[in-house]
Amino acid sequence: MFQNNPVLIKLKKKLCAKTVRVEGTVKSNKKGFGFLDIDKKNSYFIKPIHMKKVMHGDKVIAKIHKFDNKESVEPEKLITPFLHKFVGKVIYKKNKLFVLPDYFCIKKPIMCILKKKLSFKLQNEDWVMSKLLKHPLRDNNVFCAEIIDFVSKKNNTFSPWLVTLSKYNLNKKPPKEKNVIKLLKNEELNRKDLTKLNFFTIDSMNTKDIDDAFFIKKINNIFYVTVAIADPTAYISPNSKLDISAMNRGYTNYLPGFNVPMLPRYISENICSLKPNVKRPVLACSFTVLKNGDFVDNKINFYLAWIKSKAKLIYENVSNWLENTGSWKPKNENIKKQIKIFYEFCNVRFLWRKRNALIFKNTLEYRFQLNDKYEVLGINIESRRIAHRIVEEAMLSANICAANYLNKKLGFGIYNVHNGFDKNNSKLAALLLSSNGFNFNEKDFLNLNSFCQIHRIFDFISDKYVYKRFKKLQSFVEISNVPSPHFALGLNFYATWTSPIRKYSDMINHRLIKSVIRKIDVDMPNNKILSKIIENKRKIRMSEKDIQNWLYVIFLKKVEGKKIFLAEIIDVFKSGLRVKIIKNGAYAFIPTILIHNMKNEVFCNYDNGSVYIKNKLKYKISDLIKIKIFKVKIKNRNIIAKIY
């Protein structure tokens, strides 16, 4: 009767026209309400009653409500759920099974069903892998998930590794290879025999996957260097099962006290590893460097070879010997002579980079000391010593040669690219330096030579605050299949090929270099492969970070409220400070109330990385401060500190 009433139709259209919908991502708050983030600047309030239909991280379409000039949104349609497959802890409530997802932002457990039969009964706080089945916005129901796999018992000291690797869908075990691996057809042919040369390796004591060896001689102040790299592509053909497995893994995953290799250990630690006194196939690069550090362009040569390393040296021993400490010394006189020449070469190339490119700033590295049960005994500080610098300069030189070689011969490859600054951050960087007495045009930050000149200023500026803020504005390193500058290194091109048994991208560059040597046509690596490499790299970095955070909270729980540490202010947020403890490398957060006892007198300025108390500058990024561990939250893997 009223279906076609024109008045009602007009009214309905009028009401619909007033309904405004927005799309965004849900951000939850521990007090029950939430926000819908539309972009970096705009967000809408979500009432607690509406938050029951969504969870943190969901991407949704929501309807805007207005009441008394205040706006809030009601989520209506699910676009992408935050959870799909997830790791969580088992929780039993009144004999009902729930799983609490392992995300600090999700506080409520999800009701679960168990279809897969297990040989034992799940207990509270066991770790499992689950799959989200029902979502209130999508299925007109409550949140519900299904347990699809068991991960770890609650009291397993290896849980940090098992949970984290499961969370990022990373392999927990090395790939298996049952068949005998042999050299591929033609890989034994046309290789130079360099087995009589005194190649040697420098690695850590426990390194088994040795992938680089060196030989050097010096005549009339000219350095003649050969870098030989293990050649897994001599055994693994493109698109084979082993090759696809390596591509899917992307990298060897080095975690505290544990690693998961990209290739079967039989390959990476045996037939390809450049062990001493064993004949091995390699891809070699010979180059000539003048006393001023310049490469002789027409003296760079890539070729296939056989080598037999004459010694496996250890970083610590070589560094001690060159620094005239300890009792160790090289047994082989030829290698002893080479180490000294390599040290000269290292200094020559370092000075060249300091003049013509950019150099690395010395940073501390932290290593967890674990027992057989994977319990943390301590945390050691390691610094880059002479032997590390020698290997570093050799690898950098070889990679620079490869980058230019691939650019000249093919015009493509797997390149590490760094663009310096994006246009917006170049403006901010120019303003930062101008406020500290250095006038640069924002376009200078987009030019490689100018970028290097600007960076060298910091060799003479003692103010770490300016340098830290400058660094935070820089872009991240990316991967590209076409040559582009690497601003952070100060180089026109940079491509790695020196770790092919650990990095699939280096395996690709090996094959490309070989295609030039053998004069075989080859295709450019496609975007699918690039995306796979980028995603694997991201997941591995996240897994390493997560496991470290987990181990830190376990280790520092023992000193909660007891010990005083020296820490550096790394970042400033509206809600407080992020600091790094110098002694062990752990990161902690200091909320405003623990900076100063009157919270309303504290102002944290994110834009300039400074903290003001009663309108006076008190702290800033790069400052060293004394802190005490206030609370360690093991469940959230958070360390809360207070200024001492």
CA atoms of 90 and 128, how far apart (whole Å): 7
Do 201 and 272 meet the contact criterion of CB atoms below 8 Å apart?
no
Query: Residue 271: which region, alpha, beta or left (left: phi > 0; alpha: psi -120 to 50)?
Result: alpha
> Distance of CA 344 to CAs 186, 331, 362, Å?
38, 20, 20
**What is residue 16's three-state secondary structure?**
helix
Whether 203 is catalytic = yes
At 49, is the secondary structure helix, strand, or coil? helix
Which residues partner with 632 through β-bridges? 639
Rounded to 5 degrees, φ, ψ at 639 are -115, 120
Contact 401, 300 (CB under 8 A): yes
Give residues with Cβ within 8 angstroms of 161, minimum separation 6. 172, 255, 258, 374, 547
Indicate if 138 belongs to the active site: no
Give the tokens for residue 155: 């009291």
Among candidate residues 44, 235, 251, 315, the one labeled active-site is 315
What's the count of helices (H) and strands (E) in the chain, helices before strands? 14, 31
Catalytic residue among 102, 209, 243, 546: 209
CA dihedral over 144, 149, 154, 160, signed as positive or negative = negative
Q: Which two tokens stand for residue 152?
A: 């770890």
Would you give the end-to-end CA distance of the chain in angstroms? Answer: 77
Cα separation, 488 vs 602, whole angstroms: 36
Find, among 582, 605, 584, the residue nearest to 595 by Cα: 605
Q: Is 315 a catalytic residue?
A: yes
92 catalytically annotated: no
417/419 Cα distance (integer angstroms): 7
Catalytic residue among 211, 506, 546, 623: 211
- 521 catalytic? Reply is no
Q: Report DSSP letters for 259-324, one per residue.
A: EE-SS-HHIIIIISS--TT-EEEEEEEEEEE-TTS-B-GGG-EEEEEEEE---EEEHHHHHHHHTT
Q: Residues 604, 575: contact at Cβ < 8 Å?
A: yes
Decide: 344 and 393 in contact? Cβ < 8 Å. no
- The alpha carbon of residue 409 and the mean position of all alpha carbons in its chain are separated, in whole angstroms, by 31
Which of the residues 249, 349, 502, 511 is marked catalytic? 502
Task: List the beta bridge partners of residue 77.
Answer: 61
Scan for tokens 């039993």, then name that residue: 92
Considering the candidates 58, 203, 231, 243, report the single residue annotated as catalytic: 203
The secondary structure of 516-579 as a DSSP string is HHTT---PPPPHHHHHHHHHHHHHHHHHHHHHHHHHHHHHHGGGTTT-EEEEEEEEEETTEEEE
Decide if 212 is catalytic. Answer: yes
CA nearest 499: which of 303, 272, 182, 317?
A: 272
Farthest-apart Cα atoms in the chain, separation: 105
Other CB atoms closer than 10 Å to residue 150's CB: what's the count?
A: 18
Amino acid at 513: I
Count the residues in the chain: 644
191 within 8 A of 281, measured Cβ to Cβ: yes
Token pair 């690395």 is found at 360
As given in the structure block, the two tokens for residue 135 are 């979502």
Check the CA dihedral 553-554-559-564 and report its sign. negative
Which residue, 121, 302, 247, is CA-closest to 537? 247
Options 58, 102, 126, 212, the catalytic residue: 212
Q: Please give the positions annotated as active site.
A: 203, 209, 211-212, 315, 502
